[in-house]
């Protein structure tokens, strides 16, 4: 049975969001993404050095996109967490 997606079509792009404590180095090695996207609150100097090195080794492009006012995956995860309680 088909159901309506939780996220809007704007949010349903080919992405996998993982919320984890610590660094994503092991996941990045296994997933080997072609493109790694971070929000505009990051820059080349503030990316974790271990993650940056893994991305360099696998040849992934690092794309830092501008922040969009009122749109936050962190806030979405907080709201979802509250619903689950």
Q: Which two tokens stand for residue 39?
A: 């929000």
In a domain, 44, yes or no: yes
In a domain, 16, yes or no: no
In a domain, 15, yes or no: no
In a domain, 51, yes or no: yes
In a domain, 69, yes or no: yes
The Cα-based distances of 71 to 3, 13, 35, 74 in angstroms read: 24, 15, 21, 9
Q: Is the pLDDT of residue 7 over 60?
A: no
Q: What is the mean pLDDT of residues 74-78?
A: 79
Domain residue limits at 37: 25-84
Residue 44: band (very low, low, confident or very high) from pLDDT cuts 50, 70, 90: confident
Count of domains observed in the chain: 1
In a domain, 65, yes or no: yes
DSSP 34: S
């Amino acid at each position: 049975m088909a159901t309506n997606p939780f996220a809007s079509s704007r949010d349903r792009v080919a992405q996998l969001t993982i919320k984890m404590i610590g660094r994503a180095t092991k996941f990045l090695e296994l997933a080997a993404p072609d493109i790694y996207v971070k929000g505009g609150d990051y820059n080349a100097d503030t990316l974790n050095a271990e993650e940056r090195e893994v991305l360099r080794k696998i040849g992934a492009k690092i794309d830092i996109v501008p922040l969009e006012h009122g749109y936050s995956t962190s806030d979405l995860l907080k709201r979802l967490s509250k619903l689950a309680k």
